[in-house]
Structure 1
């Protein structure tokens, strides 16, 4: 649009020169391109036609050779004495040896001819047939049918059926009467394999009557088949009504026509890329022509404009002077230089924006190579990539508002520690995460990446006084998969909630959450026994079961990374148990130290000892203390309820309902603390109250029994005597 506006402002001479050059050049380009396209199309079409001619001749040769071998084998066999003797033998006279000999001959014909075909020998006069190795008697209808087959004008007849092609040959050859028939039933699938060609076109085989004996696709139109048979040439090419080309050849052996089709889409498909390239070149040449035409017109009119500017001063409404145009061009060039310098200054920010969009999957796959090259990154199709995300765990009691500053400092650390040949520019991926795209010419070992991550983590702790966690994605080889790799790295960072601070997590190691065939093996059954031992508080059992868990982890996992992950899982489950059983915060706080020791300690014994000393024992001790305190508290509450409700219908189930505990649990707790059962304690306390009432009140024995919830006074008297060796009445007399 800007170009056309400028063109309108030019002089008439300028426009005449420009359009003359542009129109003539465009005509030449279009004409030249059309000639090239037509010649190329014709050459490709002729190449395809020649390919199809060779293919159809090859098909004809392959099939005719096999058919001739079958015919020769039947003809040769029909002239043997054995065959002539068998023609005179009735069904009942046929010997097993004769049948075997005929079967051997038919097997030989199968080997000489087309495999996977069925061969039969039929004695029409004696009404027997040998088919698939067995001798069978013919019915009268079958004899009549085979006689009709033999009474043909030719000694070989071909019949096309649904799944096979049948060859019927009169034996002996050229005999006036039909004595025997040799039949070959050729499976059409076997023919398709025999005549297989490398073309996508179909193949039809037509006899002289126009019958299609074989096709491996569409069937040829009847009119077109007649047109081919009327052509009177052995080989040729003919156009169908569908504008498709058909290549055919006629057999000199049996006059069959073999027809293949060359569809226009075959040529068009071959021309596709050439057509696109030709259009692209033509468009480029037209654009170049427009530029050249403009330059030619500008050069041609420049002297005239200069002379006009010298001869007269500029008037209102006249065209812009040449010197003014030159001055404006100089200003534009100067402005472009300024813009170019500004672009160079903003290139790092643009590169960061590109990587940020790449992390978010906002760049089309086809645009990625162009942008990578634009920002000067050396990336090849053989490179391997990983995404590394760094998240700050602890700013060291600093104001969180300074998080951006530390992320920027982390970018500089990454840039210093990891060579620029192994990474792209580090960026701030999110408000709290720094991201780096790692690249390697070959697939790098995970341990090498882990070394870089350790250096970054140590530098952040030593120089910046902050704690960081690092998540690394799995390996991939196409940059358009970066968004998925970022998700994997983020998934790795989520595991810091379970693992604690200052961890380095590879997605490959946590993929067990998604992949059941992962390498990490974890002793779930052994761990269950160990955690149950922790619940019981039995230190000897805890010692034994913990050793079994550790030994199984080391035995089942051969990779140090998977061993570390298994220990992390064990630590997590121990902490969860401690939280569930109410371990205090001080015991659980030691888990951070344990995580750090697992990360930094390479000696398995020290890792095992650290988990046991710093985590298992403190949790068991605090749980035991709390359990003892809880048991004492519950026992006291039960005693209070007994003292308050002894004269009510009181039971352990009702006490459990009031205290919101399980009745069995309360029974165990009470007996452990009070050394007697709940029922015994209740009965003893009621006995104590009864003795007090007998001493201090005038209540009758029956009233006391009723108040203490005995079903009758006799039960009360028997219980009292059993405990005190005297009856309630005798006991009262002592104090009267």
Structure 2
């Protein structure tokens, strides 16, 4: 039984496509070429008909033009224009009329010929001799046309004007003499518009032929414009306006209609000959040919389909038997997938399983190596197990002569594009970069241990110094690459070199100890343990005096002084303490003393400085002296200064209020700054400083100002004498009081009292 599955369907579709596509393409090609040929032939025939029509019309008009030319050169016309026509010259008139009648032949179709004498104002035609007074405007328009002779189309005859387009008359106007700016006469030959239509071919059934004058006015058409409506005619005329070519052939659309247009411009009289053919008529013959081609292609397609089906089934039979022998019925029914696809899937599954197993083994080996390295640096591997584990880690382990450890820490993530949550990921990225930068045969697996990256490096150097140089070069290479690619600042600690892996734990501790000294040496450094640990202990002294000055400045809230003293303090301890432990003890002592100072102010440090993580952990996590100095200033000193500043401000306000109260109560006594300071138990200079800071004025100036105000009150409210007021305010004599009053008030006490009384009088009067 025929079974229509996916692979067989593909074979059938492919064979049918291969066999039928050429047939379809060939049919389309023949149809397009045939249609194009037919259209080209029709267009060529259309142009030929238009050419023949133009030549036939121009031949007839040329004959008329030559006859008028000969007639204008005859002696009869010359005599009539020069001497005029009088009743005695009837023979001349007969000769003129006879010559003019011979021009009016049947084949040309001339309706009438007019001879006009512009000087004497008469017109001679078949109707006789008449005056031209009624034609002056028309003749003036003809004379203004700057040509010797020309063709023009107008409604009606010269002597019988009309008002409809059906009464169109074609006129040939000849000026006599030629090329004269002031001609003596005119010859006008008139042809009816109907006669011009008879010149067109009546056997052209394919389209419409029209004649237009220079003003794009229709002079004649083959079928009275029944084929084209006025709007389409306007469209065609607009296209002719845009073209300056003598002839052409183009296609255009008007609504749903598509037409082919051929045109020619006559060099004889400037007329335009147009032939318009609907494209539908051109394509009619193409459709007939297309149906024949389509029928042929359908028959060939059916034959190709039958052959494709039979051939595909025959070609599929071996594949079907192979498939049935390889897969179970359940597999064969699964989603009707084609057989080759299922076979390919089987191979892909096998390959994926192999790749997964290889990746798992590789990952397990990596994890095992990381585990062994971690145990090695921690010192958890026994000496008896070392050779066995070392052989599992690297086959080249027996070639190693010297061993050392590099440890890497990230200095800071501030000012970078990373956050603290990215630190672990960055350490693993650094570990991968170390694995790429240091050759695999010179290292063990790089690992991450407690926020540090650790690498065991091996080599076979000629000397210990050479191995130290090699380790420094590797560290510098890693530091530069991390800075370039990750934009991170890292510090690297280097241990001493050892002869075997049993010293790996000691080397790891030395490298970590070396990293601790980045606090003293700054960030982005490479530190070898021999360079940072001094050979002998150095006696150091804690800078107690600087600490005391810092605490005094904190109590006085002198921020600028605090900054300078803090810089000096850290320069002192970083210059003295070359041992990291001594440095940590010094900064911890400074931290504890600051907390004690805060507690002395009466504020709990947990209330003011509480945070997560604890302050001590934050302090020990700092990686440089600069970071420690900035941390102390922002996290500890600034809050403590704010507390003392608030307390000091409150205290200042209380002292200033007490002094002001004393002045107000005892202004009429011998009160002084020393007396107030004794009563308040403060030094006079301290009282003076508080008053200047709180009131912005000295003690003596405030006392003098207050006594002046009291003097003004006494001058206004009492009748006390000047001397009595001076005595009450504790002046030695009245002259001193007057000078002091004038200095502060700008006038003497007497003048002040007089002006006050005058103001009172004026106020009562008004």
The TM-score, its normalising length taken from structure 2, stands at 0.35
Structure with max Cα Rg: 2
| TM-score, length-scaled by structure 1 | 0.37
